[in-house]
Structure 1
Amino acid sequence: MGFKDIPNTSMVLHGLHGVQLMGKSSCRNEETFHGDSALSSCQGSEFSRTSQGLLIQRLWQQRPYCLRPIHCSLQGDRHIGETVVNVLTSLPFVVLGLQTPRQNFNTSLYANSLIGVGIASSLYHSSRGEARKFLRWADYTMIAATTLCLSRALRDENRKLLMVASTLLLPFQPLMVSAVHTGMMEATFAKKALTNPELRMAYNLHTMSSLMGTALFIADECLPQTPYIHAAWHLAAAVGVGTCNKLLE
């Protein structure tokens, strides 16, 4: 008997009591149903994770301005000569750190931070590529840390809340931290110079160097194509920092 002579199995079993046959279309539909359920479940889980990720990203983008990192300027060092000059004019901060009186922990911390400023500035100006962005941020942050350390060394009675807030904001807003604690240092310097005649000459020199440094800093931002302005700012800032050592003697 050949295959053609075999009766259709579904026709034979169709009449038996209790036997119910499911066609291929039913099985196919059931498989499709279960497959779609599993697929929709996976898609729903993935959609939920995506939604949570987007929510976290949106919250991070809407964080307060004070918690946003600074956008560092990467201008300068357009040729090897300018790089060499900028590195050389960063070294006086290391020398000043070595000469700073180390009477206690706070003054020692300030002296070490000055050395850190010189090293960070040298590394930034000698760097290129992607590392330059990080080193510029490190340069700004190190300067801000120095003003914070100087403020602590000059005034032990500073409020702890101010110091803690300044420390927390240091990685995000170093320029703001620098401005606040530089202002506090200037007020302390002026107050002591009024009562101590020996500080008046140092204070006058500090005032002139600070004004010149501010003008050079603004010029460096407004005239980025002018060479060696940044190096001049280094020197003016070094003179201003050197006069501050008189307050620690």
Structure 2
Amino acid sequence: METFQPFLNFFAAQKAVIGYCLMAVITVGGEHLFSVVSFDCPCSKENFEYGMTFLLGPAALLLILGLFFCGGSTPNVAAKGMQMAKKEDCKIFVRACIAPVIWLCASLLDGTFYECAASGMKANSLNETEDCLQELVKLPCDESNGKERILRFKAHAQMRAWFLIIGAAIVFSCVKFCSQDNNVQRMYKKHYARELRERFDAFVVEKASKMAERQIQRIKKDTLNWKTILLQQSA
């Protein structure tokens, strides 16, 4: 067991990084599976709506789930003060944005959703003949007739993906740098949260015990009153 102790200590110290890496792998794999199995561009004027739904819909869902799980896993910030609560809320929101950003980056680098959406957007915005519009919306289904335009769509998607990656890296780095605490502060927050939770649990147990005792006394009193009434009626 002592042989594996350094590895266990390493995984315990880097559990957040390992968790984010696993989340990234699962998100990228899910995006690829989604694009292969579920996505089928209609090749009509609804291309834009269909492509943007697959691009932004799962990202919005991941953001909601991230806010739910990240918010539920953090200690109660109501008793930490306004400044600490705001900082904690900011960190929760940033952590919740990781999965949606990974989804958007993976989707844009792949380009499948963006190609479908871009063909529909161009068809709705260009003042072209009906034949040209029909040819444009059918590009995702027949790439041989417009390979250059499809490559242009994919290049635009990948450029936007790299802009998003760079912007997200800058934002996450700034938040990490601004919220970085030293060992003393982390130890203080850890012990403070544990002490607060223990005292609150003790208070709740004591309060619940007193309320239960009062309720039992009330039930006993009501029972005695009913017994008195029944005896008087039987007499």
Q: Which of the five TM-score ranges fits, normalised by the shorter chain?
A: under 0.3
The higher-RCO structure (CA 8 Å, 6+ apart) is 2
Compute the TM-score of the two structures, normalised by the length of structure 2.
0.26
The structure whose residues are more often helix, as a share, is 2
